[in-house]
Structure 1
Amino acid sequence: MPARYAKTRDIAAKYDGTADEHYDRRYKDVQFQKYDLLLAHAERLLGSSTVTRLLRDIVVDSGCGSGLLVAWLAERRLIGGVRIVGIDISAGMLAMAKQKAPRRPGIDFIQATAELPPLRDGISAVACSISTYQNLDPLQQEAYIIALRQLLRANDALLLFSVLKKSLDEAGLASISAMIRNSLPLGLLVPDDGRVEDRMLVHATS
């Protein structure tokens, strides 16, 4: 990893050091609440049947951590027929993620940097980026948003995005939304009701 990406290297080491059963106990409920909020607003934007259909297609979880999205999809009975590709920089987190999907076909986890996913453009119906953006070095952040857009197919696609609110002001969030809107013109900002520590965006193709 280039020396200029020192923050990303430090983040990887941090998460490798916390990759144990205590991590999921600490963060599962928080992450599930984020997923539920994003799901509710995606359904508001596109309708529940469309969102369910997309989530049962190809989903890329960028910054997948310990694989809690897989656990959430299974708990919400949204995992049938789905192919999930999780990407993370932390080998320790990926080891935990793989334990959540033993012998389950169609679920893969890849170690890679977020802005350079080893996947072809247009592969996914849904891209998820939950609390990942703030962990990137500033030099990576714009490239990361572009990479998320490129992962999604040109039509019938959905992006679920969240960022720690204390790491980004309203202008910064609006700038990200504007970048995404170039290829996913339907979008909404999830209202900040204080329940989670993230600001959230939902974007979709028309």
Structure 2
Amino acid sequence: MKSLNVFKIPALIALLALAACAKKDSDFAARYARNGTGAAAVNIEETGAAGEYAAGKGLHTADIVGLQRTRNGTAAQITGQIVLNNQQIQVTTQHTGSEVREGAVRVGNYQVQFHAMCLNSSCEPYFAAMEVYTSSGEFLIQEGVRIYFNDPSRSVYQLFKPGSARVFFNGKLADPSSMVGYLNSFNAGIGL
């Protein structure tokens, strides 16, 4: 009679578990590697954790997408959409320099604070961020994007959980305590 090697069974179970984890990690990385504009995640782990936190609260999609730049006289006009779950709303900001534009909008059952800024008068790059709250005021997620219209491969984005959220801009382009400074300190591909 042939004896069963008791060491083969645990090894087989461990291999199956590792394969399942690798698939889950691969799906996780693929989901958060790029946002709807094609911008690369600065930190996939932190972005994914924020996305999963919000999903646990019922917000499965929170993204700034479809950003397009046009000229309106001497001003740059940026149009895009905020997408929350299966709802979207158009947002438009107008910039003549590096001034910050801010506003609030309701999307379904969510309240959104939106911020935008161009680095210069040609609006290259463009920074935008949003904080999403429930209708009762619970903070769910923050997203920030840095978009290069002339070279999209340099575009980056990041999601933050409420405890890690940053102010949009504090007047210093290189200060990572603000969203603009944080995104401005990374090149595309970091975190991939």
Q: Name the TM tier (shorter chain).
A: 0.3 to 0.5
More helix by share: 1
TM-score, normalising length: structure 1: 0.31
Which one has a bigger Cα radius of gyration? 2
More strand by share: 2
TM-score, normalising length: structure 2: 0.33
